[in-house]
Amino acid sequence: MTKKELRREMLALRKSLTPAERESLSAQIVQKFLALEIYQDASTVMAYVSMAEEIQLREIFADAFAQGKTLAVPLIVGRGEMLPVIVPNFDALETGAFGIATVKENLREFVSAEKIECVVVPGAAFDAKCNRLGLGGGYYDKFLPAAVNAKKIALAYDFQLVEEIPVEPHDSPVDMIITEKRIIERV
């Protein structure tokens, strides 16, 4: 199966979840993430702002704010290029490029990729070797190598784990995958 076919299949499966199923699975997965020592010890965390069919990360944002962590989200700055921008609170977010929420322009403060200790990484599919099939833009494949001090953690529905992801030299794996059923670490 090609990357394109696998991506299409996984996105269709994600879309087929009911809002109640998505909410329940998201809560289970996010609770596992919040309990991680990696997250608890991190002072600077980066996460994406969830689209409707993705794992819902609002609770991670709320927890990071409550603990006084520096929380960053991606800001698309060019083709295949993004920078981490600090989110001071929920009110600082507005709809940006591609309909993805980001920090309001007048409130943008950037953090260097090297300062991030934990990155929550989105994806269409993953395998047991922690390879990742992204959403096709190459943003995370370009960004993750710059986040040299960060643990890269994917939150995924268990059905997003497949036998094998077709990997190319530019693809960036993750360090850990958390689903509602299991946690997989890259060896």
* 73-125 residue pLDDT tens: 999 888 889 999 999 999 999 987 777 788 999 999 999 999 999 999 999 99
Query: Please, which residues have CB within 8 angstroms of residue 20's CB and are 6 or more apart in sequence?
Result: none
How many Å is the Cα radius of gyration of the chain?
15
Please report the pLDDT score of residue 76 as a whole number.
87
Tell me how far apart the alpha carbons of residues 139 and 144 are, in angstroms, rounded to a whole number. 9
Mean pLDDT of the 153-180 span: 95
pLDDT digits (tens, 9 = 90+) for 138-159: 899 999 999 999 999 999 999 9
Q: What is the dihedral of CA 66, 67, 70, 75, to 10 degrees?
A: -40
Report, as an integer, the average pLDDT of 3-10: 94
Reported pTM: 0.94
What is the C-alpha separation between 93 and 73, in angstroms, rounded? 10
> What would the mean pLDDT of 48-69 be, rounded to a whole number?
95
Q: Which domains are seen in the chain, by residue range?
A: 3-180 (3.40.50.10420)
Write down the mean pLDDT value for the chain: 94
Q: Is 78 helix (H, G, I), strand (E, B) or coil?
A: strand
Q: Is the pLDDT of residue 26 over 80?
A: yes
Cα dihedral 28, 30, 35, 37 sign: positive
Residue 74, beta-bridge partner list: 84
